[in-house]
């Protein structure tokens, strides 16, 4: 399984990558909303991570595009930003982020987030 990460902070990307390797999850880093949607559409990830602090990445636009894609409406999208950017975190939540976290909380939650991505999907029960 894999995650798509809209991020350009190399230090933070390295932290995510190390945690992902430990969990057996591949990280596919992208730097624009269009690529995030394209990669997610072609091979749906277990989750998308959005760095909400980086305006040049246009994370809220990526969020809106991902949520408007029919096959990606239920995708887990986790946004993170500096703890002082409460308004940005609120905007992301209102725009459809499954979960919004401060950067520190995101780092602490990473093992749990990645473990969920790595876990096999439960079997779907259909009509009998």
pLDDT tens sequence across 101-116: 999 999 999 999 999 9
Give me the CATH topology for the region 2-85+95-118: Rossmann fold (3.40.50)
DSSP character at residue 120? P
Tokens of 96: 């459809």
CA angle 58, 62, 63 (to 5 degrees): 120
Q: How far apart are the first and last CA of the chain?
A: 29
CA quadruple 28, 33, 39, 45: dihedral sign: positive
pLDDT of residue 119: 87
State pLDDT tens for residues 9-51.
999 899 999 999 999 999 999 999 999 999 999 999 999 999 9
pLDDT for 53 equals: 94
Stretch 69-98: mean pLDDT, rounded? 93
Identify whether the C-beta of residue 85 lies closer than 8 Å to the C-beta of residue 52: yes
**Helix/strand/coil for 81:** strand
Which residue from 127, 124, 69 is spatially nearest to 96, judged by alpha carbons? 69
């Amino acid at each position: 399984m894999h995650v798509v990460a809209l991020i350009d902070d190399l230090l933070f990307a390295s932290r995510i990558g190390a945690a992902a390797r430990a969990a057996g999850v591949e990280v596919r880093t992208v730097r624009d909303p269009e690529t995030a949607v394209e990669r997610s559409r072609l091979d749906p990830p277990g989750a998308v991570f959005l760095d909400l602090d980086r305006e040049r990445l246009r994370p809220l636009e990526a969020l809106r595009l991902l949520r408007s894609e029919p096959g990606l409406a239920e995708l887990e999208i986790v946004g993170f930003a500096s703890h002082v950017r409460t308004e940005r975190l609120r905007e992301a939540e209102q725009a459809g982020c499954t979960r919004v976290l401060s950067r520190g909380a995101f780092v602490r939650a990473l093992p749990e987030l990645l473990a969920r991505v790595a876990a096999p999907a439960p079997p779907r029960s259909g009509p009998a």
